[in-house]
Amino acid sequence: MTRNDDRNDALPVNPVLSVRTEPSAEHTPAEQGDAPADFAQRPIPPMATPSTEGLSAGEVSTMLGGDASMTEANEALGTAEGLDTITES
């Protein structure tokens, strides 16, 4: 017997519970409800304007937590394998 076998705080068994043997009468999938009534009057939340410029290798490595030398090494490996590292991943 282990230490956890003689616990006093175990939940009691509920004799009323039983296993459901028959399937439910109708399958009702989840669906999206109607839009709120005041949806058209709600203000548009602020959103940053996306930049049309790509990120530099340094910016990407900062976002990923690495340093620029790792990014340059990966680009060099990709070039050695014949990959276009700018467009292929």
Query: When comparing pLDDT for 20 and 79, which is higher?
Result: 79
State the pLDDT at residue 5.
60
Cα dihedral across residues 56, 58, 61, 65: positive or negative: negative
How far is the C-alpha of 32 from the C-alpha of 79, rounded, in Å? 47
pLDDT tens track for 25-80: 777 788 888 988 998 899 988 888 877 788 887 777 777 776 667 778 888 888 88
Answering whether pTM is above 0.75, one says no
Query: When comparing pLDDT for 23 and 45, which is higher?
Result: 45
pLDDT band for 86, please (50, 70, 90 cuts): low
Whole-angstrom distance between the N-terminal and C-terminal Cα of the chain?
Answer: 56
Tell which residue, 65, 63, 57, has the closest CA to residue 86. Answer: 57
